[in-house]
Chain A
Amino acid sequence: QVQLVESGGGVVQPGRSLRLSCAASGFTFPDYGIHWVRQAPGKGLEWVALISYDGNNQYCTDSVKGRFTLSRDNSKNMVFLQMNNLRAEDTAVYYCAKSGESKNLFQHWGQGTLVIVSS
């Protein structure tokens, strides 16, 4: 079955960097785009970014442009979210999600990893 496992979260000071990983299994990884969606404590869902199936295209929300970048290693079924210049408002649980019938649909989700940006 489809499995997505995030890792790399933790507590980091404002302005510092963190790299999240998403390990995938149970599907043909190179065929699907992978999204990151975040959820601040007690709040709703916010889409963060998408990397296309081949890694050649990335899309992200305005609030992270220039600070967050995505990459993927299709030989290892991994996606990475590099987060630089972190801000307090980036504090959230970060989920990776596999696209579905549409590339912008979140068909399967990981359990999430918590990022806390605090001094």
Chain B
Amino acid sequence: DIVMTQSPDSLAVSLGERATINCRSSQSVLHSSNNKKYLAWYQQKPGQPPKLLIYWASTRESGVPDRFSGSGSGTDFTLTISGLQAEDVAVYYCQQYYNTPLTFGGGTKVEIK
């Protein structure tokens, strides 16, 4: 199984500042056949289901604000929120969809400082 490790577990950021969340996979999720990274990011607000933010490591889902961006290599990935807004308070999860079992990171809770 591919183990996904997120850091930090939580972070507090001032409004308008940058939040950076890291995610590491225990093996590469870069598929050599298409050069795509099978890594997604989800946002989950309290009492709500998760929402897809980013897929292929850096492609924003339709309707997601451009302050959310993703980057990374085959095993190390980053979600950046540039200019944190109050509505961004949530838990963020990374997920590999390279193979089954599909696995998530443990989540990072983002709060306002």
Contact = CB atoms under 8 A, between A and B. Distances in A.
**Chains A and B bind each other:** yes
Interface of A: 35, 37, 44-47, 50, 59, 61-62, 95, 100-102, 104-112
A107 B104 CA distance: 15
Interface of B: 38, 40, 42, 44, 48-52, 55-56, 61, 93, 95, 97-107
Nearest to A99: B97
Contact of A106 (B56, B95, B100): B95
B101 A62 contact: yes
Instruction: Pick the 9 closest A-B CB pairs, nearest first.
Output: A104-B97, A109-B49, A47-B102, A45-B104, A61-B101, A44-B107, A59-B100, A44-B106, A105-B97
A105 B50 contact: no
B52 A106 contact: yes
Most A CB within 10 A of own CB, among B48, B52, B98, B99: B52
Contacts of B61: 107
Contacts of B95: 45, 106
